Structures are given as C-alpha cells and as structure tokens.
Amino acid sequence: MRPISPAPRPQLGTPATGMAALAVPDPCAHCDARPVSVCSALEEKDLHRLAALAEVLEVAPGKTFIAEGEKPEHFFNVTGGTARLYKLLPDGRRQITGFARQGHFLGLAVGEANAFSAEALEKVWVCRFSRTRLRQVLDDFPAFERRLLGTAANELVAAQEQMLLLGRKTARERVASFLLAQARPLRPCDAPPGRFHLPMTRTDIADYLGLTIETVSRTMTRLKTEKLIALPSPAEVVLLDRARLESLAGGFEEERF
C-alpha cells in the first residue's frame, strides 16, 4: 500500500475523471491510513486496468442513482459529494441507513433487489462499474476483493453501532453521537475538525437518528444554550466541549450540577 503518486486526485467537491475517479485522498504521512476505498489497496498499474472498466458520472443534487427494490445493475465508488442511503415503509416513513462520502462503496447488495435507495444530497461524483463485470473484476484483482471484505466489515461495525443508537440511546445521546461522527475526518489519523459543515437537512438527520425534525432542532438548540456546541448557521457546527459530547454520546450518566 503506497501513495498513488503522480495521478491527479479529486478534492472534496470537485469532479474526478478517468483514472483519477478511482483515486483516494493521500495517505496520512504518519500512519498511512486512508479512508476505506475500492482501490486503496491497488498498485498503480492495477488502477489503470481497473479504470478501463469504470465510467465516471456526476449525479445532480436530489437525483436517485440506486433505487430500493430494483435489480442491481451497477456498483459504485463515491469519489466526491455526499449521498443519502435510505429505506422506505409503504406509508412513507423513511429510515436513512447512512450517508456515503468520498471512498464509500455502494452496491455490494446480493440477490435480486437493492436493499436501499441512494440519492445525491449535493452534487455527487461516482465511479460506476457494470455489475456483470463484477465477477471479472474480483477475479482479476484479488487485492480488490480483500479490500471489499474489509470495507464490508467496517460497514457492519458501523451498522451495529447505529443499531445501539436507534434501539437504546436518548434523543440527546443520538444527536451528540451524530455530531461527533460528522466531525470524524476521512483519514482517521487526521485531527478531527472542531468546526464543520452539515450537508444534510434537519429532516435527513431526523430520519437517520430515528427522531422527528422538531426533536432534532430542539436538541441542537439545547446543546447550543448549554455551550456544548455553537451554530453559526443551521448547517455550520462548532464543537465547543468535545469531552462532554463524547461522554453524552457514549451513554454515560450526565453529570449533575
């Protein structure tokens, strides 16, 4: 595993074309950690071969590029922007199962139907592979398959964490957990930013945390009045007291005053 040196690399919020679409952020200089990605385990020569099998697409905000229940035709690597992944009940209740950012792999779904829908929150760039070629790709790139297994294992861990949140945490604990997760950098070794932008609406946050929009709003307001966070604007968050947020998110009893 080493830097994919001379190839241009996409920045968050910029499109990526050709081979660059498969690239990922530079590994950390100290620990070599990178966000889990389709190709982060591949050598440069393999990247070129893989790029020939892929198409690069730009998805406009609000556009659905994976539809729950439909036959899976492709698999995707998100290279920029953010997408919401969700499931619906027949009466319209929605559960967002995750937000896909740069490096996220979509379409592992086995069987006859996609288990969820994916919709661009903001402009999204994806690198798309034909599903019929997946077998070929896996056979040709053993490192790719190994990496995919690692990706899936990571997602499974995240899904279990989310089940704990949805099944057993209070609204306050859920929002604290969410804000801390959003503050997590793409490369785990980077320092988490104290200030960041939320690309999703309050409705998205509510549907992700199993709450209503009103409860999300009230809870954020309360965290603000308690000086745990600041909200320069509804979509800008500043973490003012990370320690107390961590303790809240982890489900520790709240200290009494």
Partner DNA sequence: CTGCGACCTTGTTTTGGATCAATCGCTTGG
Partner DNA sequence: CCAAGCGATTGATCCAAAACAAGGTCGCAG
Residues in the site for a copy of itself, rule: CB under 8 A?
A: 87, 89-91, 93-95, 97, 108-111, 115-116, 138, 142, 145-146, 148-150, 152-157, 159-164, 166-169, 207, 209-210, 250-253
Minimum CB separation of residue 156 from a copy of itself in Å reads: 6
- Could you tell me whether strands 54-59 and 64-66 are parallel, antiparallel, or unpaired per DSSP bridges? unpaired
Q: Distance between CA 154 and CA 106 in Å, rounded?
A: 13
- Residue 163, interface with DNA (CB under 7 A)? no
Q: Which is nearer to a copy of itself, 20 or 106 (CB)?
A: 106
Q: Distance between CA 152 and CA 148 in Å, rounded?
A: 6
Among 136, 154, 160, 221, binds DNA (CB under 7 A): 221
Residue 239: exposed, middle, or buried by beta-carbon count in 10 A (0-12, 13-18, 19+)? buried
Find all residues with CB under 8 Å of 197, minimum gap 6, and list them: 235, 236, 237
Q: Tell me the DSSP string of 74-122.
A: EEEEEEES-EEEEEE-TTS-EEEEEEE-TT-EE----SSS-SSEEEESS
Among DNA, a copy of itself, none, the one that 156 touches (CB under a kind-dependent 5 to 8 A) is a copy of itself
- Residue 234, interface with DNA (CB under 7 A)? yes
What is the 8-class DSSP label of residue 10? P
Angle between the N-to-C axes of helices 202-209 and 213-225, in degrees from 0 to 180, rounded to the nearest 10: 100
Nearest Cα residue to 194 out of 226, 239, 235: 239
Region 118-157 residues binding DNA, contact defined as CB under 7 A: none
Among DNA, a copy of itself, none, the one that 145 touches (CB under a kind-dependent 5 to 8 A) is a copy of itself
| Region binding DNA by CB under 7 A among candidate stretches 8-16, 71-79, 143-151, 227-235 | 227-235
Which tokens is 160 given? Answer: 């279990």
Among 11, 136, 154, 170, binds DNA (CB under 7 A): 170
Find all residues with CB under 8 Å of 176, minimum gap 6, and list them: 223, 228, 245, 246, 248, 249
- Residue 14, interface with DNA (CB under 7 A)? no
| Region binding DNA by CB under 7 A among candidate stretches 29-37, 42-50, 183-191, 228-236 | 228-236
Q: The tokens 């790139």 sit on which residue?
A: 141
Binding residues for DNA, rule CB under 7 A, total: 20
- Residue 236, interface with DNA (CB under 7 A)? no
Region 72-91 residues binding DNA, contact defined as CB under 7 A: none
Among 26, 139, 214, 236, binds DNA (CB under 7 A): 214
- Residue 212, interface with DNA (CB under 7 A)? yes
Binding positions for DNA, rule: CB under 7 A: 170-172, 201-203, 210-218, 220-221, 231, 234-235
